Structure 1
Amino acid sequence: MRDHLLRPATAADLEAIMDVQQEGSVLALSGIFPQDEYPFPRAELTARWAREINDPAMRVLVILQDGAVAGFAAITHDQLLHFGTAPRTWGTGLATTAHDEIIGLLDPAAHLWVLAGNQRARRFYEKVGWKPTGRSVPDDFPPHPELMEYQRSG
């Protein structure tokens, strides 16, 4: 029996998705978004996830481990929009296994955007076959750090 499972997310998963995202973001990104100055925008992100779950052009998934939400992903046919796992799973291989399944749902030339200062995520994406394109844009959230584009080579 598998110790994880991807399944479509529903509105009932919103709080669990937000708990996983908030815990991981605060832990990994506080150097980019100091919490005393730029606290985690939970309400805004919850609203975004709710819109994405209901958007027929998007596929929003939860990663289950031992029956609990341990991660999330949102994709379109050619873009990995959001991907993360709970800090308790970091280093266990769950993210790599889930990523490998998610890749099968994407166009071979898919792309993603990752914060330039998120070294952990960049190392992960490079390890699993993503390459920087050289393009960058500012993030939507203050203080608007740089987002780097990565692409799959097929």
Structure 2
Amino acid sequence: MHLRPATDTDLERLVAVQAEGSVVALAEVFPQATHPFPHEEVLDRWRAELADPDVAAYVSTDDLGRVTGFAARRHDELLHFGTAMRTWGTGLATDLHDALLATYPAHVDRLWLTVFEQNPRARRFWEKQGWRPTGRSSRTIYPPHPVLLEYDLRLRR
């Protein structure tokens, strides 16, 4: 796995990876017939985040340069994280997770993220990596506005 900062030229491939996984992993949360993946909105959000100096966005690539995953962080928040479906079950997500954690500044000792309540696969992944539910929740901005659960992780440095 190669991790590098994401660029504007990565965004179409990054969003394609994100869409493919989201459609499958969140099929019960966002049925495509009624709530299709908001490609343009997500692409615009990524563009804005790449332009934001507080956001650090990354892509992982394979030896051929194909995007295999993505991640983004802001301050102590993990904003985005995912891997290409073709890599699911290979350990890439754990490698990407560990590489992303290494990018946080040394003064950051607690991280947080949100995950869909109805995404048990993702929740199992985060918990396996040591993340724990905080008991706080919110709702996503995307209809039908499903519940997001907050998780946190204490870094041991």
Q: TM-score, normalization: structure 2?
A: 0.94
CA displacement 1:20-61 (0-9 Å, x = unmatched): 001000011011100000000000000000011111110010
Q: How high is the sequence identity, in percent, across the aligned residues?
A: 53
Within 1, Cα distance between the matches of 2:56 and 2:6? 8
Please tell me whether residue 46 in structure 1 is matched to residue 35 in structure 2. no
Q: Show the counterpart of 2:5.
A: 8
- 1:109 maps to a residue whose letter is R
Aligned pairs for 1:7-86 (under 5 A) are 7-66=4-63, 67-86=65-84
Please tell me whether residue 141 in structure 1 is matched to residue 154 in structure 2. no
Within 2, Cα distance between the matches of 1:23 and 1:43? 14
Within 1, Cα distance between the matches of 2:84 and 2:21? 6
- 1:121 maps to a residue whose letter is A
Please tell me whether residue 121 in structure 1 is matched to residue 98 in structure 2. no
1:131–1:153 contact (8 Å) kept in structure 2:
no
1:115–1:147 contact (8 Å) kept in structure 2:
yes
Aligned pairs for 1:83-98 (under 5 A) are 83-98=81-96
Q: TM-score, normalization: structure 1?
A: 0.96
Within 1, Cα distance between the matches of 2:117 and 2:101? 22
Give the aligned CA root-mean-square deviation in angstroms: 0.8
Within 2, Cα distance between the matches of 1:114 and 1:30? 15
Structure 2 residue ranges without an equivalent (≥5): none
- 1:38 maps to a residue whose letter is H
Name the count of aligned residue pairs.
151
Q: CA deviation at 1:101?
A: 1.1
- 1:92 maps to a residue whose letter is T
Within 2, Cα distance between the matches of 1:141 and 1:44? 10
CA displacement 1:126-151 (0-9 Å, x = unmatched): 00010000000011100000000000
Structure 1 residue ranges without an equivalent (≥5): none
